[in-house]
Amino acid sequence: MKAKIVQKNIPEGWIKLRLGDIGKAIIGLTYSPEDVLELGGVLVFRSSNIKNGRINYADQVRVSSKIPESLKIKEGDILICARNGSQNLIGKNAYIAKQDEGHTFGAFMTVFRTKNPKYFYQLFQSQLFKKEVKKDLGPTINQVTTGNLHSFKFKIPPSGEQNRIVNVLEAWDMAIEKLGEKIEIKKRVKKGLMRELLTGKTRLPGFSGEWKAVKLGDVCKINMGQSPPSTAYNENMDGLPLIQGNNDIKFRKTTRRVWTTEITKTADAGDIIMTVRAPVGCIGIADEKVCIGRGVCAIKPQVIDHDFILKILELRESNWKSLEQGSTFTAVNSLDIKKLLIKAPASIKEQNAIADILTAADEEIEGLERKLGILKEQKRFLLNKLVTGEIRVPEGG
């Protein structure tokens, strides 16, 4: 059970205030489908544009509407998801940096403007803020209004201590950001290695000879999944874990979510799992013996190196995704999978050597991601202690 974050005694020098006393929440722009443009216009920030507390520009909607000055994003604004089909997204927020200025935000979003926004951005990442948001959500309520936000009460430290808290937390944010950037670089390098080594463009020293095209079904055993009846599903760990699709694969491994007592098709520990329904082609490894539903298949290499074929299929993931885009392509059958052509060196030793290099790259990335997870957890712990006053940052600290 997670420890509850509660506001107990008010630390010396702190004051309990409503957000409405120290800032203003502003509801976003309402626009119609006719206002949406392919190019030009004004960019509208929505919940999909919030990623890791910052603005992400991957998903863009532009409108032709004339934007009131009050609805133009400014540096230091805190953009908050105020309404969404998923209650888990309500309260998600981002700090607006200088480069994000001048755009606007949608009607399901709210901007909070206040002095020392860097402190309140950190406060809005805390369990205290999430707790206030959750209090206003019920079974039929899927929004937090500006009135709700204004009514939220928090213990607020003096401005000097606010700044000291921000300095501490931003140091952690910087470490997290730099490690995240390092991981992304490592992933790009690994992807480049895959393109070179898994296509034969670059050969490892000591190996020669042509690569041959083979059908996946000629070198692997393909076992298509079959879903058991839903009446056999349970969350009590009875039977075998059921792998049905992409949601059951995390970090390239199967994950326990639902079990079934009626076993249809199975995959052994170590088998390669591939999704066969949209999104098609997602790859993972069975972490244990599992039951496989119709949304996946199990691939068991026979006369080819296991890790080599695993990396080939990882490289091919993007091929399946490109087929899905702009088409009605939503699934593949056993024949599609069996006739999939891959190129491979005749030498098992060369296959193994290539796989070893790429596996080592994976292990390095996994180690860095574990370290990143620890940093994030440490920052969350520190954040929740600092904004409640349980840990104080002394002057000069």
The answer to whether residues 219 and 261 belong to one domain is yes
Taking CA atoms, 205 is separated from 202, 312, 352, 353, 355, in Å, by: 10, 20, 14, 10, 15
Q: Residue 26 to residues 43, 104, 263: CA-CA distances in angstroms?
A: 17, 11, 54
CA nearest neighbour of 277 among 321, 331, 225, 322 = 331
Q: To which residue do tokens 């992409």 refer?
A: 246
**258 and 176 in one domain?**
no
Judgement on whether residues 148 and 173 belong to the same structural domain of the protein: no
- Answer yes or no: do 192 and 295 share one domain: no
Paired strand residues for 29: 106
Domain stop point among 119, 138, 156? 156
pLDDT at residue 2 in the model: 41
In a domain, 9, yes or no: no
Mark whether 32 and 140 lie in a shared domain: yes
Q: What is the pLDDT of residue 11?
A: 87
Domain end residue (candidates: 116, 134, 156): 156
Q: Which residue has the tokens 């890791």?
A: 52
CB atoms within 10 A of CB 120: 25
Asked, for residue 138, whether it belongs to a domain, the answer is: yes
Same domain, 351 and 204: yes
d(CA 185, CA 177): 12
Rounded CA gap, 132 and 93, in Å?
14
Q: Is residue 382 classed exposed, middle or buried when 0-12, 13-18 and 19+ CB atoms within 10 A define those classes?
A: middle
Which residues of the chain have a pLDDT value below 50?
A: 1-7
Same domain, yes or no: 382 and 234: no
3 state DSSP class of 357: helix
d(CA 345, CA 199): 9
CA neighbor of 282 nearest in space, from 292, 271, 273: 273
Question: Considering the entire predicted model, what is its pTM?
Answer: 0.82
Residue 223 lies in a domain: yes
DSSP lists the bridge partners of residue 292 as 243, 265
Whether 271 is in a domain gets the answer: yes
**Integer Cα distance of 306 and 283 in angstroms:** 13
Domain of 231, CATH number, reads 3.90.220.20
The residue among 156, 174, 189 that closes a domain is 156
What confidence score (pLDDT) does residue 327 get? 66
Question: Residue 321 domain-assigned?
Answer: yes
Secondary structure class of 3 (helix, strand, coil): coil
Give the total number of structural domains in the chain: 3
Q: Is residue 171 part of a domain?
A: yes
Query: Which structural domain, as residue segments, surrounds residue 26?
Result: 15-156
Q: What is the CATH number of the domain that holds 175?
A: 1.10.287.1120
Is 167 in the same domain as 52? no
pLDDT at 97: 95
Q: Is residue 1 one of the residues assigned to a domain?
A: no
* Amino acid in position 279: P
Same domain? For 288 and 307 the reply is yes
Instruction: Please indicate, yes or no, whether residues 329 and 385 belong to a single structural domain of this protein.
Output: no
Judgement on whether residues 285 and 137 belong to the same structural domain of the protein: no
Q: Is residue 10 part of a domain?
A: no
The DSSP secondary structure of 292-354, one letter per residue, reads: E-TTEEEEEESSS-HHHHHHHHHHHHHHHHHHHTTS---B--HHHHHT-EEEEES-HHHHHHH
Q: Are residues 184 and 263 in the same domain?
A: no
Tens of pLDDT, residues 304-314: 999 999 999 99
